[in-house]
């Protein structure tokens, strides 16, 4: 979630400051650093952009009051293609919808196959969680997301993008069903803003999400860390490189890649997903 949130911050800031760049520095762990020519009040900017989305946005409006399948990005393919066509004139909304699913690949029941970042299941729906986070997030949540520590709070729904989202009974000293999960609405909302950098594309009849490889129990997400200051367009190209995990040391150096990390996608028997703890590759 930290990586996605860093990219989300850059995408939001780049709307107002096209010169914005993002780099990573090593200080015990990898820390994202934002660079702009002008000083900006980042919390105020994030809050202003949040207000814009709360006022209505085509990338979310279709899910407001929609049926459960639509809220979970499991449209009938014709309906999803119509949604995509209806947003052609809105560049930002089109980028988000292209990251939700494709109008080509379908699952075993003939419904649209959603992004690999779709970790909800059962009574939870992906877009319902995003809408709830949009309506719940506060300036204090943004402060926590940017400056830490990541403690979270009970109440808002969860995209489950944090590795700690999987509350397995076998790994806890308490029954998780008796205690409400703590979520990070600020980090989750900012991470959602990075989705346009990870579009879903059809490969044959499969839906493949940028940055993800493998299928089923072998699915994994791989991402780079770079030391140079890169623009949003440059990062979009970098995260979209195929087989990034197989780069040689020379290839990494030529692209300014300082490290590459990977997390497995873990799905429990009920269908809920989560990321495993990341490991360097």
Residue 239 in any domain: the answer is no
Task: Write the CA distances from 182 to 138, 156, 176, integer angstroms.
Answer: 15, 8, 11
Supply the pLDDT for residue 164.
65
Residue 210: phi and psi, rounded to 5, are -50, 130
DSSP code at position 121: -
Supply the pLDDT for residue 178.
62
The number of distinct structural domains making up the chain is 1
Supply the pLDDT for residue 158.
94
Residue 229 in any domain: the answer is no
pLDDT band at 172 (very low <50, low <70, confident <90, very high): very low
Q: Which residues contact 20 (CB under 8 A, 6 or more apart)?
A: 10, 13, 14, 34, 35, 36, 231, 232
Measured between alpha carbons, how far is 147 from 141 in angstroms, rounded to an integer?
10
Residue 260 in any domain: the answer is no
Task: Write the CA distances from 49 to 12, 55, 165, 174, integer angstroms.
Answer: 7, 10, 26, 39
pLDDT tens, position by position, 90-107: 999 999 999 999 988 888
Residue 163 in any domain: the answer is yes
Supply the pLDDT for residue 177.
57
pLDDT tens, position by position, 46-71: 999 999 999 999 999 999 999 999 99
pLDDT averaged over every residue in the chain:
93
What is the gyration radius of the CA atoms in the chain, in angstroms?
18
Rounded to an integer, the average pLDDT of 74-96 is 96
Please say if the pLDDT value at position 253 is more than 90: yes
150 exposure class (CB count in 10 Å sphere: 0-12, 13-18, 19+): middle
Residue 258 in any domain: the answer is no
pLDDT band at 159 (very low <50, low <70, confident <90, very high): very high
Please say if the pLDDT value at position 119 is more than 60: yes
Residue 234 in any domain: the answer is no
* Lowest-confidence pick of 35-39, 118-122, 242-246: 242-246
pTM: 0.93
Residue 202 in any domain: the answer is yes
* Lowest-confidence pick of 99-113, 165-179, 241-255: 165-179
| Tokens at 206, concatenated | 């499969």
Rounded to an integer, the average pLDDT of 61-82 is 96
Which range marks the domain in which residue 97 is found?
A: 2-211
Please say if the pLDDT value at position 251 is more than 70: yes
pLDDT band at 238 (very low <50, low <70, confident <90, very high): very high
Select the more confidently predicted residue: 216 or 250. Answer: 250
Q: Which helix (H) or strand (E) holds 113?
A: strand 112-114
pLDDT band at 179 (very low <50, low <70, confident <90, very high): low
């Amino acid at each position: 979630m930290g990586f996605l949130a860093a990219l989300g911050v850059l995408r939001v800031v780049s709307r107002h400051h096209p010169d914005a760049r993002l780099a990573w520095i090593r200080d015990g762990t990898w820390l994202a650093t934002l660079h702009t020519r002008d000083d900006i009040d980042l919390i105020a900017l994030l809050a202003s952009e949040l207000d814009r989305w709360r006022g209505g946005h085509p990338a979310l409006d279709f899910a407001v009051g929609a049926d459960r399948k639509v809220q979970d990005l499991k449209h009938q393919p014709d309906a999803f293609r119509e949604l995509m066509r209806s947003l052609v004139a809105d560049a930002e909304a089109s980028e988000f919808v292209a990251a939700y699913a494709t109008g080509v690949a379908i699952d075993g029941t003939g419904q649209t196959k959603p992004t690999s970042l779709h970790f909800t299941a059962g009574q939870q729906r992906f877009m319902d969680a995003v809408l709830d986070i949009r309506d719940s997030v506060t300036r204090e949540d943004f402060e926590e997301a940017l400056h830490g520590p990541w403690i979270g709070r009970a109440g808002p729904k969860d995209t489950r993008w944090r590795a700690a989202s999987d509350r397995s009974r076998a790994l806890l000293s308490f029954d998780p069903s008796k205690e409400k999960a703590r979520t990070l609405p600020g980090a989750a909302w900012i991470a959602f803003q990075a989705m346009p950098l990870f579009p879903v594309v059809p490969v044959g009849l499969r839906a493949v999400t940028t940055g993800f490889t493998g299928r089923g129990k072998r699915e994994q997400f791989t991402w780079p860390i770079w030391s140079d200051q890169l623009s949003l367009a440059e990062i979009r190209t970098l995260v979209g490189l195929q087989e990034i995990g197989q780069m040689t040391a020379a290839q990494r150096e030529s692209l300014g890649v300082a490290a590459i990390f990977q997390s497995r996608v873990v799905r429990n028997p009920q269908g809920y997903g989560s990321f495993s703890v990341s490991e360097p590759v």
